[in-house]
Amino acid sequence: MSVEQELIGKWRELPLDKQQQVLEFVEFLHVKTVDPQLFTSASKSLLGERLREIRAQIIASGEPLLTQEGIEKEIASRRGGLQETET
């Protein structure tokens, strides 16, 4: 089985939202690899537009947006767990 066949097989088993995430990641890698010059101020505005689209999708789904505290907890958990500060 080729790498392409293996990737497609695993991708097809994912839920639709995860398939979309994989596609977005592959698009990111493609742009970054094929034309790194696209990461200029123009592409940053495209990134901003994409982030606004994602935010609108989250709001439309009814999922609440994270607060600043929620964002900090999410970042901490992805960096190896929540770190309690001593007071």
In a domain, 69, yes or no: no
- What does pTM read for this prediction? 0.41
> Which of the 8 DSSP states describes residue 2?
-
User: What is the distance between the alpha carbons of residues 4 and 13, in angstroms, rounded to a whole number?
Assistant: 15
In a domain, 52, yes or no: yes
Residue 48 C-alpha from the chain's centroid: 13
User: What is the distance between the alpha carbons of residues 7 and 14, in angstroms, rounded to a whole number?
Assistant: 11
Sheet strands (E) in the chain: none
Number of domain units in the chain: 1
In a domain, 66, yes or no: no
Q: 12 is in which domain, residue-wise?
A: 3-59
Please state, rounded to an integer, the average pLDDT across all residues of the chain.
81
In a domain, 24, yes or no: yes
Residue type at position 87: T
Tens of pLDDT, residues 37-76: 666 666 667 788 888 888 888 888 888 888 899 888 888 8
